[in-house]
Structure 1
């Protein structure tokens, strides 16, 4: 039997890596494809496909084979397959005990530098726990120290990050659904495809519209001035969907008049291969697709779930962009309001400083005038007598000067804080440090 043939070193190493599951084996490494297919033909692994790529996963037979290979019997003993059932039972018992010990130890079990035989037994128990589905629901196993050092086994919550997600179920398209039960927007949708593809295209749109509506999105008819057929709105973002149909060229036998003439003219005919398009993804939307259609390996019906996934992905991304933009605008408005408030405070402060300086200047002026009048009085008193007319004139001048000093002296008026004047936006411009006084923007 083919199954009885032993694996070579390359196959065994790859099987060990697949069972280990820490470094997935995928189609991203094409050099391993031949070995993966050889293991798959022997029933030791399977290849799960998703979006045109595959990931290798070990089967129960593969885990059992690896368990036997990691602890080979003596040359005189039976073959691996003759004792597989008994060894599987032992590995299952060890796996059950391992899970119990893990849960008792708080989901982390450390075995200090085990012997090679003990390390191999624990590895078989790990493989058996995965293969026999003994791991508690909602958890997965992870371990380090496969060949050397301490063997640390962890029971972690959540899905296994190395396990490929299940392939989504294609949308159901009922070929017998009467047209009156189509989505209202689909019934009136414009379909730029040939008459032979009209019914199929409308049923594709109906399946997509019903699935989108089931997820809470809004489906509406595209505006008549566009070439789109349908619009799906998710998270306040609207995505038009547009059909295109391919064409093929054929020789046109009707282009010649006589049977002996060579046919060279070509005619273009619909290919009946449909594509469904979204608008091209905007810059910054990495990994986005915008076209799905009939190909040699699949039909458009198989890709409808990807179209809806892309719409939801773009809707979430655009919603997050809008939130980020709103947060930036709110932060900008907040900084502008703070700048406006600070500018108003600074302006009023400057006005008060100006008023204070004017008052102190007036007070110093009054003090100097009074000192001058005192000096003038002293001078008159110490000098020889003058004519009465001159004495009268000097006395009047001193009296007027003292009166003027009293008029300009702010101390006599008991000055208070000046009232805040009305402030216009333009008055704040010198204090805004580049902000516009009329809105949250730079001047």
Structure 2
């Protein structure tokens, strides 16, 4: 087989430079040597072929394999170089990069650390990608909660639920199991120091309002009340209208024929209300994971909401202390500013008195010189009386101006300090701070 034939089959690549021929094996040629060719290679690089033996150049050597592009490795390397945060431009054209698909592949690659998670979303600036740390509570190993096969020594809450005539709105097929699940849950949370109390347990609400029904019991954890509602799942099937329903719908325009029929299922759902959700707000029976296997998560959710409430309370107390300290500091600064302004004003008064004494002394001297040349009489007597009064007043002015001291202002009231408070503290901080309300969070469904 000739070199040209081998090159045409993609087995080698032949090059010529300065009258020197060189042949290099391609990946396909290397695979051919290892799998398709049998027998020893001849000297000088002979390769047996189907039509005989061809002598090739002794310079034959394998071409280095090109590294296969791995988008997951590239993405993780780029994230590491950019502080685990990227914003990719949204491309247009026939073959744009599907970042959502690449993130999904990276999540399934097993290359992301166990304590981190890859997030991606569309934003105004492009597609945002983050490699974020997973909260510690999501990595916690939970101890399973045992649910007994029989209800023995029921908890007071469970005993009260047993006596309720509506049977919690559950059918016989799931009622006893619901009581055993509640028994296991309240026992687990009370072992952590929490308390439980019976809810209103009203009559069974209509299907469309089941999730808004009053709770069956309440768990109180460090002043945080978490209501628990137990519901029975429902299966629905397409409703077949009856003749009477059709006739009534034709007769009354306001009447609507239901689209589905609902039948109680042998599945349960626990709904938690109150506090800040972490893992979720609803847990339901699954084919591969019944509620018995999820009770530990529900108990952990109660603990997480309790800890969040405690943290919020401490943060609010600290904010109040900080605000109070800021107000006290502001009042101290305002008081000092008021004292300084008072003393500056008094200094101006002293300066005016000094100038006034200096002018009055010159005037008294001039009057005295004029009075010295007057003959005795009524006019001179009146001038001398005036000079005695002026000299006494001048002595007081001179004494006040020549012996200055720092004055102590009177104790200021709120109105006196208000102009100075406006310069050292914003008006929003001068009022008593109110506790910030928790942001409403839409409960998530854990199924």
Please report the TM-score for the alignment, with normalisation by the length of structure 2.
0.52
Structure 1 counterpart of 2:190? 213
Structure 2 counterpart of 1:230? 217
- What's the C-alpha RMSD, in Å, of the aligned pairs? 3.9
Structure 1 counterpart of 2:128? none
Residues 289, 248 of structure 1: alpha-carbon distance in 2 compared, 3 angstrom cutoff:
same
Shift, 1:28, TM fit: 7.2
**Structure ranking higher on relative contact order (CA contacts 8 Å, 6+ apart):** 2
**Where do 5+ consecutive residues of structure 2 fail to align?**
1-103, 111-135, 203-212, 245-257, 435-447
Among 380, 385, 406, the alignment partner of 1:391 is 380
Show structure 1 runs of 4+ deviating over 4 A.
26-29, 164-167, 223-226, 250-257, 384-387, 407-410, 412-420, 435-442
Structure 1 counterpart of 2:47? none
Residues 333, 253 of structure 1: alpha-carbon distance in 2 compared, 3 angstrom cutoff:
closer
Among 170, 180, 188, the alignment partner of 2:160 is 188
Query: What secondary structure is seen at the aligned counterpart in 1 of 2:344?
Result: helix
Structure 2 counterpart of 1:80? none
Give the Cα separation in 2 of the matches to 1:266 and 1:327: 54
The question of whether the paired residues in 2 share the 8 Å contact of 1:188 and 1:221 is answered with yes
Give the Cα separation in 1 of the matches to 2:201 and 2:398: 82
Give the Cα separation in 2 of the matches to 1:388 and 1:28: 120
Among 181, 185, 192, the alignment partner of 1:204 is 181
Structure 1 counterpart of 2:114? none
Among 146, 149, 152, the alignment partner of 1:175 is 149
The question of whether the paired residues in 2 share the 8 Å contact of 1:281 and 1:290 is answered with no
Structure 1 counterpart of 2:360? 369
The question of whether the paired residues in 2 share the 8 Å contact of 1:362 and 1:410 is answered with no
Residues 230, 197 of structure 1: alpha-carbon distance in 2 compared, 3 angstrom cutoff:
same
CA-to-partner distance for each residue in 1:237-288, whole Å, 9 max, x for gaps? 221111122222357899679xxxxxx9964221132110112774xx6x53
Among 266, 270, 273, the alignment partner of 1:276 is 270
**Is 1:299 equivalent to 2:290 in the alignment?**
yes
Give the Cα separation in 1 of the matches to 2:408 and 2:201: 64
Give the Cα separation in 1 of the matches to 2:241 and 2:360: 120
Query: What secondary structure is seen at the aligned counterpart in 1 of 2:235?
Result: strand
The question of whether the paired residues in 2 share the 8 Å contact of 1:197 and 1:272 is answered with yes
**Where do 5+ consecutive residues of structure 1 fail to align?**
1-25, 33-160, 258-263
Query: What secondary structure is seen at the aligned counterpart in 2 of 1:273?
Result: strand
Among 401, 407, 410, the alignment partner of 2:390 is 401
